[in-house]
Amino acid sequence: MTDDIDEVVARLMAYQAAVGERHALINGWVDDIAMADSLAASARDTLVARHDGVVVGHLRGTVLASSVYGESVWINPEGVSYDNPEILSALYAAAATRWLGAGATRHYVWVPRDDDAIGPWRHLGFAYMHQRGAKYLEDPARVEWPEGYAIRRGSIDDLEVALELDDVLRLAQEEGPSFALGLADTGQRDEWIETLEDPTVTHYLVEHDGHAVAQCATFALPERVGTFDNTVHLSAVSVRPEHRARGVGRAMVTHALETARREGFAIAETNWRVTNHRAGRYWRSFGFEETYLRLHRHVGVG
């Protein structure tokens, strides 16, 4: 692999530039030095395909033990290139044989949301799972609160209510057609302690009659392929069912994004389960445009 790095980096730079041409909200720029370092550090996880001595594809999957997804393999946007779908098929067959040998039966890949990028993975048994969306934070936004609601910053003192509101989100995801089961007891408390104690995360709580009824969180996304600098990530958006459809969610998210805009963020990103149709509609109505799609395959009988 080490000898192939320059060729793989050149391919990735050309590929990402083309993706950036097609998607205004995907960054087409690749830091070639950082990419070469990253490939060198993960050489053992990367397979390269050559034809007549020339690199025609590569595949890098990282095996991770996740409390939510179990033993699984993750392929990031820069983790794959192929000249044609047959090369991807051969690379996947070889790499997945190794992954399965390590007990990793769940495979995840991020691809740009366009048919050419998605199709070859669909033919390998991958299905839609998670959607990333982004929007520009250009103009100042006016926040209109429904009567009786106010927003404040949360802190570690709000741990219990943050967990309750996270359960609201989890229960919504468990409903059909999402059926995101098995999210309970997956380290949620530890994650929220980390989130609320992290000075780089901003946590918002909306209150009504002295009770917290909605929350969300924002933080700066780290540098990564496909993401522009100054991108704020929005997550953990939930509103208690009895307070929905009153404009609470819109006011909370608008407030969080407007605060981020004033702090200098240029783009906001969020993500949702493809099967959470209401969330997808909701984010599109906010102006979020689809960028990357996460596909998954759970290898088993089938």
Ligand X SMILES: CC(C)(COP(=O)(O)OP(=O)(O)OC[C@H]1O[C@@H](n2cnc3c(N)ncnc32)[C@H](O)[C@@H]1OP(=O)(O)O)[C@@H](O)C(=O)NCCC(=O)NCCS
Binding site for ligand X (CB under 6 A): 169, 172, 237-239, 244-250, 272, 276, 278-279, 281-282, 285
Q: Which residue, 15 or 288, is less far from ligand X as judged by CB? A: 288
Q: At what angle do helices 115-122 and 85-101 cross, to 10 degrees?
A: 50
CA distance 214 to 87: 47
Q: Which residue, 95 or 279, is less far from ligand X as judged by CB? A: 279
Token pair 């009567």 is at which residue? Answer: 147
Q: How far is the CB of 265 from ligand X (least distance, A)?
A: 19
Q: Which residue, 49 or 248, is less far from ligand X as judged by CB? A: 248
Beta-ladder partners of 201: 219
Q: How far is the CB of 145 from ligand X (least distance, A)?
A: 11
Residue with smallest beta-carbon separation from ligand X: 249
Q: How far is the CB of 43 from ligand X (least distance, A)?
A: 36
Q: Return the structure tokens found at 66.
A: 């996740």
Q: How far is the CB of 159 from ligand X (least distance, A)?
A: 19
Neighbours of 169 (CB within 10 A): 18
CA distance 62 to 108: 10
Torsion angles phi and psi, residue 249, rounded to 5: -60, -45
Torsion angles phi and psi, residue 200, rounded to 5: -90, -5
Q: Which residue, 45 or 166, is less far from ligand X as judged by CB? A: 166
CA distance 155 to 85: 49
Identity of the amino acid at 256 = A
Strand blocks (E) in 113-257: 127-136, 149-153, 201-208, 211-220, 231-239
Q: How far is the CB of 246 from ligand X (least distance, A)?
A: 5
Q: Which residue, 78 or 290, is less far from ligand X as judged by CB? A: 290
Q: Return the structure tokens found at 188.
A: 């949620």
Q: How far is the CB of 180 from ligand X (least distance, A)?
A: 10
Q: Please, are residues 130 and 293 in contact by the beta-carbon 8 Å criterion? A: yes
